[in-house]
Chains A and B, each alone.
Chain A
Amino acid sequence: MEGLSEAEANLVVYVHPSKSRNVPQAILRELSSLLFKFKETFDGVLLAYDVNILDRQAKILSGIHPYIGLRLKAQLLLFSPKPDMLLEGKVVKLSQESIHVVILGFSSAIITAENIRQEFKYKIKDGEEMFASRSHKRHVIKVGTMIRFLVKSVDEEILHVIGSLMEAHTGSIRWLDKKSEETSEFDRSAMKSRDREWQEDKTVDEGATPLSNSNHIKKSKKRRIAED
């Protein structure tokens, strides 16, 4: 799935003096308050972090309250959906007008009828609503299906994605994967080389420390298929 990335960040956390008794806990609290919120500095949503304190000595910020500035090195897992990315999620609601999807268990997406390609036809079978492909009998989307779709736009404040199933390589993941397995070896290697193009360097920085290392992030194509 696109949109997920790992980054190494040099951070500075300012701890209020009242928390000086248990600084590690204060740091964790501070970082936890950033979770699941869109941050401009990260250009994405922080999903998880792993932190290392660089220096046991901290600088005291002079001012009304002597905040303690701590330098940290953290591994961050970020989610930054952008238009034209392919995302994967689980269908939670389906109706004639729309498909509602939940991505990674916390972000919501909607695909309205006008963004679903003609190939899919809405029907009700045995009381269950679904979108079934007209050309491929096995290709079916219903509640609980994991689907891959294209991002049209993202509302960053509530992490709501407007998606589309217009592209040919969107739809039920299980069916798409099966289909891609059946394609020739040439096709498969062509897809792999496309993946490598996505690697880029990125540094994330926050606070007063000057920019130092440039690290490359591994773009993890982790498919978190949470079957819950």
Chain B
Amino acid sequence: MGLELPKYPVMEEEEVVNLELEIARRVREALSSVPSLEGSRDSYNQLVGVILHSKQLGRDELALLETTLKGLAAAVSLIDLTHHESLVSAIFSMSMWNYAPHVEDALAELIVSLAVSNGKYLDLSLGMLVNNFTPPPYFLDKLGLPYGLDRKNQVLSRVHAAFKKISEYVPLAPLRLINLVIQRMPTIYHKDRAVLIYVENMLKLESGEIGEVVGNSVLMALVDRLIDLDLEIGWDAILRDDFNKGIFEMELEDEDEIVESAEQHPGEFRLSRMTLVGNSIAELLDNLLVLTFEHLESCERAGRLAKVFETLLQSFQITVMSAYKSKFTQFVMFYACALDPENCGVRFATVLADLFVQDSRPEQTRMTAVAYLASYLSRAKFLSVFFISTMLKRLVDWCLEYCKTHDGDINPNAHRVFYSGCQAIMYILCFRMKVFVDVPRLNLLLMPPLEQILKHKLNPLKVCLPSVVEEFLRQSKAASLFTVSETFIFDGLLESELSRAFGGLERLDTFFPFDPCLLKRCDRSFDEQEHDLDEFDTAMSKMSITPKNGYCYKFGGRDSTRMPSRIRPSTSPESL
């Protein structure tokens, strides 16, 4: 620009204003000089040079850049896409992360002015702001440091404020923005930190001023991405060793704790989270889930959770339920339910039950729904006993009706939905047997129909997963609820040919989606949710022994309805 700035750092107010006007004038001059064929483009080139210069700017240079940007903002109508191509591309490739707050302000103002002045710049401006979601590569590592965090807050607040401003002047901008945001979502092969900060921005959009327009799309895109990551983690990364034992075991031991545990059942399966450590995708998913949980918490505080939940529910049905054995993504639903048991918690279970009983739905959907329902009702401590009993009754009623209208013999293929329903009931009761003790009336209400179902010709006891049946029978015998004349000896088998048959290709007979989360940070979030951990529980959590309670023999005795904390995933490797 050919301007020599005075050497003194402090200038008089008037001088500053004069300087700004001078620079603004020169900017206009430089811009208008380009279209004309005569005359040099020196001043224009200098202008572009100022914009491009981004590394290690001295204080003077920063001041110059700031005033230049302001000058450009005022002369926006003169900027032409064809004549000033190099300038335009220089502006739109600027990264706010490189500069101090004053310059960031000026740059944001320029971008907003460009966006609203001309349709051609709208997409470019929005694109530039979306690019500013993530810092330049050299800055990624510095995000953890305090000054990195400061810079992040400065930049992101300005970026989102810019979105709001643009939306005020160009009402249709959010629609274009959301398309851009989803298009540019980093793939799973990008650096973790870049993905995380981008998702953070997306969630900020959801809760921000334009959240009403873009919120739904953001959430659905997020769940899609979570499922992508989920599916990248193969089941073989999690499972190892002989898997047949103890799907009802409550203990998940860390390698270092094994030595300390008091009793060790023979042949006990040792699964630990260690198998997932070092798996970068698992780590990324873990972090993303925790980010999502935090967002859900903030939604709950703002009173928006019910609305957000509806979107999540939709996404769950479309994406998560149709994915093959989602491992972790469903915990987003679980967490939301835990935050608001009366609304979200109840709604989730009701929707699943509705899906199960609807004849028009495909078999697989119904079986998946009831598998989720069973696992959910078993593990969710926050659900009231009354509600669980209502749900149980619904399932029992449906199964009974089915029994009455179907007179066939045992046939795992033909009655898949029925068998999955029965297995669900038994599974829930394995965890919630106490319900009958607490509410004696239930005994009268549920047991007779249940007995009818279990003793029916269709013989669910023989077809359902042996380990579930065995546990159920043992518990019901201990609770003196009912006994069966035929002895079912399974030898601790996890599964049988019949159960495999009804489970089908997808092995929905061994699908227990809310078994405790194996992702470390995620799991800890659930632990933190428990506010009323009593000493008994904490003691139990370290050992795998029998508890006081007679029935919950293998269940680690604690309030087995605790939120999932430490348990094995219950799917067998051979079947996959």
Contacts and interface: CB of A to CB of B under 8 A. Distances in A.
Interface string A76-112: 0000000000000000110011101010011110101
A113 B77 contact: yes
Contacts of A160: 118-119, 122, 170
A158 B122 contact: yes
Contacts of A181: none
A108 B77 contact: no
A106 B172 CA distance: 6
A212 to B, nearest CB: 34
B168 interface: yes
A42 interface: no
Contacts of B168: 92-93
Interface string A207-223: 00000000000000000
Given A158-B172, A159-B172, A108 B116 contact: yes
A36 interface: yes
Given A97-B76, A98-B77, A113-B77, A107 B116 contact: no
B117 interface: yes
Contacts of A98: 76-77, 117
B139 interface: no
B171 interface: yes
State the main secondary structure of chain B at its contact with A. Answer: helix
Contacts of B76: 97-98
Contacts of A159: 172
Contacts of A185: none
Interface string B144-157: 00000000000000
A157 interface: yes
A155 interface: yes
B74 interface: yes
A158 B77 contact: no
Interface residues on A, range: 20 to 34
B176 interface: yes
Interface in B221-257: none
Interface string B72-95: 001111000000000000000000
A57 to B, nearest CB: 23
A157 B119 CA distance: 8
A105 B172 CA distance: 9
**Most B-side CB within 10 Å, residue of A21, A36, A97, A105:** A97
A106 B176 CA distance: 13
B489 to A, nearest CB: 47
B176 A93 contact: no
A97 B77 contact: yes
Q: Which of B77, B119, B169, B176 counts the most A-chain CB atoms under 10 A from its CB? A: B119
A103 to B, nearest CB: 9
A102 B117 contact: no
A110 B122 CA distance: 13
Interface string A151-192: 000010111100000000000000000000000000000000
Contacts of A158: 119, 122, 170, 172, 176
B519 to A, nearest CB: 35
Interface string B436-465: 000000000000000000000000000000
Given A113-B77, A158-B122, A158-B176, A100 B171 contact: no
Interface string B300-316: 00000000000000000
A100 B169 contact: yes
Contacts of B170: 108, 158, 160
Nearest to A93: B169
Contacts of A97: 74-77
A155 B169 contact: no
Interface in B109-126: 116-120, 122
A102 B122 CA distance: 15
Contacts of B175: 36
25 contacts: A21-B360, A36-B172, A36-B175, A92-B168, A93-B168, A93-B169, A100-B116, A102-B169, A105-B171, A106-B171, A106-B172, A107-B172, A108-B116, A108-B169, A108-B171, A108-B172, A110-B116, A110-B118, A114-B77, A155-B119, A155-B120, A158-B119, A158-B122, A158-B176, A160-B119
